[in-house]
Structure 1
Amino acid sequence: MSEPLNVLLIGKSPGDLRAMLCECGRDVELIHCERSRDGLTRVSGGGVDVVLLDISGRRGTATLGRLRRAAPGVPVIILVAAKDDPAALHAMQNGAQDYLVKGKTDAELLNRAIRHALERTRVEAALRHSETMYRRLVENLNEGVIAVDETGLITFANPAMEEILGCPVERLVGSPVAWFIDPGSRDANLFCRTTDERQEFELDLLHCDGGHVHALVVTSPVTDETGRFQGSIAGIMDITERKRAEEEIRIRNEHLMVINQVTGVTAASLSLAGLLEESLEKTLELMRLDVGIVYMLDSERKRALLQHQNGLPESSLARHRLIKVHHWPFNFIFIAGQPRYIEQQADLNSIEAGILRELEVSALACIPLVAESVVVGAVYAGSRTKTSFSRDERALLETIGQEIGSGILKGMLHKKLEAANREANLYLDIMTHEIKNAENVSNLYTDLLLEVLEGEAALYARKIRSSIHRSAEILGNVTTIRRVHHDSPDVAPVDLSAVIREEAAAFPDVAIEVAEGTPARVWADDLLPEIFTNLIRNAVKFGGPEVRIAIRVEDYDGESVLVSVEDTGPGIPDPAKEVIFHRFERGWVGGYGDGLDLFVVRTLVEKYGGTIRVEDRVEGRPDLGTAFRFTLREVLPAGDDECPDSE
C-alpha cells in the first residue's frame, strides 16, 4: 500500500475531497473529470485505481454501465445525494462496489470505503482467476465431470463426458442424468441421492451409439449457505477396458485351475477307466457343463465305444453306446482328428440338430483324444444352457482333450513298460536258474579234479573253483538288488543279535568277535543277513584269511541302534571312502572288485531307513583297518512297536 493511489472523480466534487483523501496514509493523486465523457476517456487510458462516480444526475446509471465495460477491473464507488436514493441500490446491483452520501461523508468513511472497494475488487479478480483455472482444469481432464442439480438435471459437463457418452455437451446440459444410466445398474439410485457424504461406486452408462460404458463414479454433494442439498458434482472414469481385462484375467485363472486339476487327475490315475471317468467328471464340474461322454476307438478303428458317461439321457443311452466313425460328422472327429462344435444356429443341418436333440443339449463340444499322434477316442461335453462356446472355452476344452490324451499315452507306455519288465524278469529268472545249474555242475567236476590232480594243475583247479564261488556271489547280489527294487517295502521286527550270530557262524574259518551288548530288535526283513554277509566277505577278500573282524551293537539316539563291523585289513584310503558304496566302483586293493557287495549293503541300509559310513578302525590310521558303521531303526517298547509307514 506504499504506491501512490490514483483516484478518478467523475462529476461535482463533494466538499474538500482532496483533503479527506490525504488522510488515507498514502500518496493520493486526485483526477477530476466533471463530464462523464472525459472520465470514460481517462479510465480507458489506464492508471486509475478507484473511480468516484456522482450519479445524482440522470445519466449516472448509464455512465456506470459504460465504466464497467471500459474498465471492469477498476472499482467504482457511487456518490448519491441521499441514503435512500433508489439509484444507489440499482448501482450496487450493477457492479458498484459501495456508495457514499454526499455531505455526510468524512475522511475516515471515505478512506475505509476505498480500502474495502480495492480489497473486494482484488478478491473478485482472484476468484475469477480461480474459476478460470478451475474451468480450464475441468475441461482438460481425461475423466468426465458433470454437475447435477437436485432435480436430476445435468447443469454442467466437461468435454471428456462428450467422449465417454458419445453425446455433445450441448445436448447433455439440461438433460436428465437418468437418461444416460442403465436401469439395471445396481447403484443407479446413488447418483442423485440426497446425502452430505462423498460416494464412490460403479455403474453402467448408456452410450449414445447404443453400447454400454462401465464407469467408476465419485460424487460429492453441493449445498447452499444453509446446508440444503443443491445437487452433486460427479467425476466419471471409463473403466470398461479395465473391467474387460480383469474379467479376462479371472477367466484365464479359472481355466488354468481347470487344467491343473484335470492334469492332476491324469497324473494320479492308475487305470485307463479311472482316468477317463475322473477327468470327464472334473471337466463337467469345473466348466459347469451338463452332459459328458468319453469314447475309445476299437482295435479295427471302425467304431467308437462308449467308455464313460455323465448326464446322458436314459432314452439316448443305447443309441450312443456305439458310433460308426466313418459316418459324417463323426469322421471329422475320429478320422481327421479335428474338434467339432455343434451349436444352435439357423443353418444347423438335420443330423447335428438330431444329435443335440437326442442328448438334450443346446451346445456340444466334440474333442478328439490323441496319443502318439494317433486319434484313440473323443470326449463329448454338452450344455443345456449355453447356445455356443466362447473362443476361450473352446481353447480350454481342446487343452483338456490334449491332457487326457497325454494321460492315455502315459497309460499305454506304462503297460508297455510293465510288459518289458515282466519279459526282462523272465529272462533273468531263466538265466539265474541255468547259471546256478551250471555252477553246481562246475563245482562237482572241480571237486573231482582236485581229488585226482596235484601240483600246478591242482592250483589251477582251485582257482577255477574260486572263480565259480565269486560268480555265485555276484549272482546272489544281483538277486538281492532285484528283490530290493521289486519286492514290497514292508518291514517287520527282526532279532538283530540272532542274525549277527548266524552270519558269524556261516564263516567258521574267519576270526569274528561278536561283542555282547543289549539285545535289540530292529525294523527289517529277511534280506538283513545280506548286509553282514557282504561286509564279512569283503573283509576276508581284501584282508586275507588272517583278518580279524569285530561286530558291535550300541544305542544311537533312543530310536536307532548303531552297528559297527570292524576289520584289521589293509584299510581304505580317504579319497576312496567317498565313493566306495557307489555301484561298480573298483576295489581299493590291487584294482580288483566289481563294487556290488558294498552297493548292496548301502541299498539295504537305506531301505530300512538307516545311514551308513566308512571310517578308519583307528582314527587317522587307515593302514590299521576299516570300520563300517550303520544305523537301523529300533523296535520301541510296547505302545510304539507298530510297523512304521514305509516311504
Structure 2
Amino acid sequence: MSEPLRVLLIGISPGNLGEMLRECGRDVELIRCERSENGLAAVSGGGIDVVLLDLDLAGGRGAAVFDRLRGVAPDVPVIVLTAAGEDPAALRAMQNGAQDYLVKGKTDAELLCRAIRYALERKQVEAALRNSETMYRRLVENLNEGVLAVDEAGLITFANPAMEEILGCSAERLVGSPVAGFFDAPGPEGTASKNPFCRETEERLEFELDLLHGDGGCVHALVVTSPVTDESGRFRGSIAGVMDITERKRAEEELRVRNEHLMVLNQVIGVTAASLSLAGLLEESLEKTLELMRLDVGVVYMLDSERKRALLQHQKGMPESALTRNRLIKVHHWPFNFIFIAGQPRYIEQQADLNTIEASILRELEVSALACIPLVAESVVVGAVYAGSRTKTSFSRDERELLETIGQEIGSGILKGMLHKKLEAANREANLYLDIMTHDIKNAENVSNLYTDLLLEILEGEAALYARKIRSSIHRSAEILGNVTTIRRIHHDSPDAGPVDLDAVIREEVAAFPDVAIEFAGGTLARVWADDLLPEVFTNLIRNAVKFGGQDVRIAIRVEDYDGESVLVSVEDTGPGIPDPMKESIFHRFERGWVGGYGDGLDLFIVRALVERYGGAIRVEDRVEGRPDLGTAFRFTLHEVLSAGEDEDDDSLDGEECD
C-alpha cells in the first residue's frame, strides 16, 4: 500500500475526478487517455491498477473498447462509467467481467473510492480461487491412479493423464465416449444389465473390471466409484478412481504355482480363520507350522499390557531345563528389542562369529538355527513366534519369506480375535484415504466457496475478512493433505523402528516454529525406538497449541526418565485447556471438540497413532492440576534404546524366573 494507486481513465473525465480520487486514503496517480487506442496501449504496458472506462466514447464504441481491454489485460479490474443507470452497455460489461459501474453525475468521492477498493479486493479473491483450482487440478493430474468422471448417460466427461495411460487413449478421444465401450465383457457382476458407473446409489461402489487398452490388450483394474449429485440431490453421474492392478494379478498368479509353500500357508490361514480363541489360534498355528516345515522347537510369546515383558503362551519341543528361564522375556534387552520393539525378524544361526548371547540362546533351546518372527497386528507388535531346528544350520531365503508370511497371518488372526467387536471400524480403516478426501477436504472446499459467495454478494467492510478466511481454508486443505500422507504411512507401512536422537528431533521442530515461544532446555542424551515419522508428533502438538492458543501461547517441552527403560516427554502449553469429559475423545479420528478447544480433526489422532506405533502411551492432563483453564499438558512415553552394557547387570541373558 506504500506505492501510489495508478488509475487509468479512458474517455472524458466526469467532472472533478482527480479531487474525488484524492479522498481514497492513499496516493493516486490518474492517467487520462481520451482516445481508446492510447488507453489500450497504456494498459498493455503494465503497471495499471484500475481502469475507469467511459462507455460513452464517440461513435458508441465503448462496448467494443471494453472487449479489447479484457483481451489485452484480463487481470486488471475495470469499472465502467455510464450516463444512465439502465444502460444496456453497462449491463453487458458487468456480465462480461467488469467489476462495477458508476453513473456519471451521480458519483461522489466516497462511492468512487469504495468501488475502486472493492474492485481491487475482488480481483485478489478471484486470483486466490484460480490458484486453488489450479492446485486441485494439478493434484488430480499428477496422481498415479486414474480418475474418470462419467455423466448420468454413461458418457466420459473427464479423464486425467494417468487414465489416458491406463486406457492408451488421449483425453480428447475419451471425453464424450461411452464408458461401456471400454469394458471387456462380461466384466463385473451386473455389468451386462446395468452400467456400474451409472448406478444410482448413496454409497461408493468398489469392483474389479477388465478394460480394453488402446493397443488391443486388456487392463485389469480396481475401480472405486462415488456418485455425483446436484443441489437438489438428483444423480448426475459418478467420479471413479481407477488403479491398474494387472501386474499385481500376474504376480499373484506366479505365486500360486509355488505349491509347497502355498500348502503350508493355506493350512495356517485355515487355522487362524477357524480358531475361536486366542489360545487355540496360537497353539494350532504353531504346531501346524512346525509340522509342515519340519522344525523341532516352537515358542509363542505375547506382550503384556505394559509392553515391557513378553510372556510365554505356548511351546512345543522346548527342553525342560529352558522352560523356567524362558517363561518371561524383558523385551527391551538386546537382542529381543529388535523383535518386540523394532518389529524386525531376527535369525540366529550357527556361524563362526556368533556372539555369546545369541550362542547361549541356541544352546539353551538345543537348536542350531532359530527364527524369531514378530507378530504384528494393525502396525503394532503384539508378540513373537520362535521356530527352531536341530538339524538345519541356517534358513533359506524362501523359508525366511514363508516364516515371515506365516507371522503376518498369525498377526492377522490375533487382530481378528482381539478386535472382533471393532470390525466395523477396522473395515473403515481400509478406506481411510477415501474418508478423509470426502470429509475434511470437501469441508474445506465448502468453507472456501461459502466465504467467496458472501464476498461477492456483500460489498461492505467485511470483504477483507472473508478473503482471509478463504486463504485460511485453503491452508487447512494443505494441512489435511499432509495428514493424509502421514496416516497412510502409519496404516500401510510396516513398523521399521530404529535408534533416533530425541534431542535433535525436538530442536529441529522448535526451529520450525520461529514465531512461537517454545521453551526446551535440551541436553537429553536419550535415543528412542522410532522412525522418521517421530517429528510429526511434535509438529502436530505444537501446531495444535498455536491453533487454539494463538501466536501468544507459550509452550514448554521436557524429557525425563520414566522407568529406566522408557522416557517421558511432556509438551505443555498455556492455551485454553481441555475439560475433563473431553480428555479421551480428542484423540479419536474426526472428533470435534468445542468452541475454542482442542480436538478438531486429525492432528491428535495422528499423535496417538504414532506414539502407539512406537510402543508408548499418551495421556492429556491439566498443565496446573485442577485448573484446565490454565493450559494443557500432553505426556507420552517412548522406549529408550539400551546399550548392550546396560543389560549385563541382569542375571539372565533372556529372561528371569517366574513362578
Q: Could you say which TM-score interval applies, normalised by the shorter chain? A: 0.3 to 0.5
Structure possessing the higher radius of gyration over alpha carbons: 1
TM-score, length basis structure 1: 0.37
Structure of greater relative contact order (alpha carbons < 8 Å, 6+ residues apart)? 2
TM-score, length basis structure 2: 0.37
